[in-house]
Structure 1
């Protein structure tokens, strides 16, 4: 998981993370920034707040949320608003991908006119995936295979050309996602109800598209084709 800011992975993919962890699969979250400038409105309203205090608060929240969901989390501290290209960070992400050998990579959509940090995170994830596949790239770890990249739902999907092709039933872990969202509430408490409601709406769509029993779901859009040996 490549998350631009420290809370993005919770709002948009907390259910997927919790499901994978519950099934016994290791989950690794990379937060490129803490979201200290543009994603921490609630904290900046408090008297005496500084960049370092906001960063620490966001890290504490994100670590608590990751622990609830069952994920390992790493912070690159690249700064936000804007996230900027950093060769050292890109090299680090390539090495992390090779170390982890991901079966799937979750990240932001390509287009998000409201938050260009998200676009940067998307491009960085794809570029690093490409490099991590290269046999000639020097590394202490072997090249990765061809993990699917799933883009999680942006905050305003209509403006981002988001067209989901996967609806994931997260009903059995929605209590964990809700608890993780609550952990992030100190800086962005207004989003807890929003993403709770979104999970319910996507659950309705899950059922309408042939799924059974889902009360809550998350939406994803894949980058690469799905391979198969038969159509059944």
Structure 2
């Protein structure tokens, strides 16, 4: 099985679905993280290029911790837009990677990059199997798309993955994003929810786990209903 997570920023995969990615990698599945941007707006007194370079290095280390491969699509942080050109970029990406299952952001999210990434991935999923849509890679049809998100009034998980044995790996991967952990904890304002980042994520995973009688869980909303073998 090949699992691909398409995320807007370098830390998103680890925060939202790091335990699930590590669990699939541990059982021998191919796992890839596709980063739309390098998160160059997520920094303090330095240039966008310097922030991007740091965050790319951190993302590569985090992906290795999870047992995943990593690739970047070179979109601009905070400026991911919806267009046919960008949708076709995602079509080509999915065709090249040929994942069985795709993970991405839930459509209802405060961050515009998250919302746009969700829409691009969903529409690319529908288009990437079309034989008359020509790209360098051959058509491919993933089995399903699973969405992750923050606890909101509209995001209500339907699929739960027990990540109890892999939550420490998830936390290690998050801490690889040293510059971003500092940014999220000191930025304040709209990111104030990330005060005590690891503790907050651990608490959220416990709440989800409690609904399924396990210590830690991650939750997803599937595009199509199907039987679950992890996220197969």
TM-score (norm 2): 0.84
Match of 1:211 in 2: none
Secondary structure (helix, strand or coil) at the match of 2:208 reads: helix
- 2:129 counterpart of 1:125: no
**How many Å apart are 1:111 and its aligned residue?**
1.4
Secondary structure (helix, strand or coil) at the match of 1:206 reads: coil
Pick aligned residue for 1:158 from 146, 152, 161? 152
For 1:58 and 1:30, how far apart are their aligned partners in 2? 14
Superposition RMSD in Å: 1.8
**Pair 91,224 (structure 1): closer, same or farther in 2 beyond 3 Å:** same
Q: Deviations over 1:47-85 (max 9, x none)?
A: 4x1111100111111111000001111111211223124
Moved more, 13-22 or 218-227: 218-227
How many residue pairs get aligned? The number is 211
Pick aligned residue for 1:92 from 77, 89, 92? 89
Query: Which structure 1 segments of 5+ residues have no match?
Result: 208-213
Secondary structure (helix, strand or coil) at the match of 2:20 reads: helix
- 2:212 counterpart of 1:206: yes
Match of 1:135 in 2: 131
Pick aligned residue for 1:15 from 19, 30, 43? 19
- 2:54 counterpart of 1:60: no
- 2:32 counterpart of 1:36: no
**How many Å apart are 1:151 and its aligned residue?**
0.5
**How many Å apart are 1:148 and its aligned residue?**
1.0
Pick aligned residue for 1:197 from 194, 203, 210? 203
Which structure is larger by alpha-carbon Rg, 1 or 2?
1
For 1:227 and 1:179, how far apart are their aligned partners in 2? 30
